[in-house]
Structure 1
Amino acid sequence: MGSEAGASKPVIKVAAICGSLRKGSFNRGLIRSAIQISKESINGMQIEYVDISPLPMLNTDLEVDGKYPAAVEAFRQKILEADAFLFASPEYNYSVTGPLKNAIDWASRSPNVWADKAAAIVSAAGSLGGARAQYHLRQIGVYLDLHFINKPEFFLNAFESPAKFDTDGNLIDSASRDRLKALLLALQAFTLRLQGKI
């Protein structure tokens, strides 16, 4: 029984999206850890990894008779069904990655399926831990009517010693796992508050 077990809470569904397509990505490792932590010690939270790699590049010519390509329709449905979002965003050139921005843009096409939901961001990158990408993602979220939690923030320098990840990209640093759990609990509380359930 997890440390957060006790009185039953409404179950929230969290869609986890990684901006890196690389299987060994540290950011993908953060999502795997978040899923594990939620299963082991957070009552009332289900996190599902949603793969953005099948999405074609945004092209409105692909929208036919009000329909989107099959991969886009499936992705948009996952976003629509989620109560909240966990973004794992590496930093490319001071910003979010192309695949992540592409996914965001597809789901923002009418009707915008991001709107009025809670979100949190984690990132593993170089010296600033992806901070600039996170701030850019928050700016994008303003127009999407996404509501990001403000604290705690989670930036992780993936390359400092001692090692934070193993050779398979799994998070092994206990302090970082504790910080990740704190962020997930904050996302859960904020989501329930937005939904009027607490």
Structure 2
Amino acid sequence: MEAVVAAKPVITVAALCGSLRKGSFNRGLLRSAIQICNESINGIKIEYIEIAPLPMLNTDLEINGTFPPVVEAFRQKIREVDSVLFASPEYNYSDSSQVLVTVLMDMVTTDNFEEEEIVALNKGLTLHGICFIAFLFLAIVLAPLKNAIDWASRPPNVWADKAAAIVSAGGGFGGGRSQYHLRQIGVYIDLHFINKPEFFLNAFQAPSKFDSDGNLIDMATKERLKEVLLSLQAFTLRLQSKC
């Protein structure tokens, strides 16, 4: 009698992008991840979930324990999947960063910081002050993604005990600094991130990584992305004790 081999369970993944731009490189990473799974990874299915329609978090919108329909639909999507794939762009160095720095400088008049940190910030160009400001505004998860995370974390928290992975693309460090802030958020909402491999992509280094429409075209990068997906799949199975 032939042995019956149990079919490998299909892992479902919600793909979320912190950028709302149509041509975003980070959206391109998620499109490529979906294609890779469809073509070369058995047992994993990714669905892209749009977060743009979500209203800004406002608990006044919660009425008798219910959420606005668009929020409830999003929460249900997250509730149903096994794991989550985030594409997290880093806060850019645009004029809006000046607003953030101004806010941070205003905050030194409050009791939010230790005395030595307040002194360092008020001196302006001290090394301590510069590093403290840089840490705060470079490690920021963009508002659309943080808003989605917050809505889904409202009781009952639908992120809890799910596996997750992060990919990012951009200039410089490739969006890597925002990933560590996202990992910190995950600790509180019981979201479990894979540790390796990490995926940071400098989208502007030769050879070209994306085409004019933001689609990933670099084969070496696709292989790196595939390794992330395989790791997420394996970690999800271990977390769920299905393997």
What is the 5 A alignment of 1:31-180? Answer: 31-92=30-91, 93-94=137-138, 95-180=140-225
Over residues 114-149 of structure 1, what are the superposed CA-to-partner deviations in whole Å (9 max), with x where a residue is unaligned? 000100000001110111100000000000101000
Q: Using the alignment, how far apart are the partners of 2:170 and 2:160 within structure 1?
A: 28
What is the 5 A alignment of 1:18-33? Answer: 18-33=17-32
2:127 is matched with none
Aligned partners of 1:24 and 1:169 also within 8 Å: yes
Q: Using the alignment, how far apart are the partners of 1:165 and 1:158 within structure 2?
A: 7
Over residues 20-40 of structure 1, what are the superposed CA-to-partner deviations in whole Å (9 max), with x where a residue is unaligned? 011110000000000000000
Report how far residue 8 of structure 1 moved.
4.0
Higher mean alpha-carbon deviation, 85-94 vs 34-43, is at 85-94
Q: Using the alignment, how far apart are the partners of 1:9 and 1:96 within structure 2?
A: 35
Q: Using the alignment, how far apart are the partners of 2:69 and 2:228 within structure 1?
A: 33
TM-score (norm: length of structure 2): 0.78
Task: Give the secondary-structure state (helix, strand or coil) at the position aligned to 2:45.
Answer: strand
Aligned partners of 1:8 and 1:43 also within 8 Å: no
Aligned partners of 1:129 and 1:158 also within 8 Å: yes
Over residues 33-60 of structure 1, what are the superposed CA-to-partner deviations in whole Å (9 max), with x where a residue is unaligned? 0000000000000000000000000000
Q: Using the alignment, how far apart are the partners of 1:155 and 1:9 within structure 2?
A: 30
2:104 is matched with none
Q: Using the alignment, how far apart are the partners of 1:71 and 1:34 within structure 2?
A: 25
TM-score (norm: length of structure 1): 0.95
* Greater helix proportion: 2
Which stretches in structure 2 are left out of the alignment for 5+ residues? 1-5, 92-136
Task: Give the secondary-structure state (helix, strand or coil) at the position aligned to 2:168.
Answer: strand
Q: Using the alignment, how far apart are the partners of 1:58 and 1:162 within structure 2?
A: 40
Aligned length: 193
Report how far residue 163 of structure 1 moved.
1.0
Q: Using the alignment, how far apart are the partners of 2:168 and 2:218 within structure 1?
A: 15
Percent identity for Structure 1 against Structure 2: 76
Report how far residue 9 of structure 1 moved.
1.6
Letter in 2 for 1:161: A
What is the 5 A alignment of 1:2-17? Answer: 8-17=7-16
Aligned partners of 1:138 and 1:148 also within 8 Å: yes
Letter in 2 for 1:103: A
Letter in 2 for 1:21: L
Task: Give the secondary-structure state (helix, strand or coil) at the position aligned to 1:87.
Answer: strand
Aligned partners of 1:8 and 1:44 also within 8 Å: no
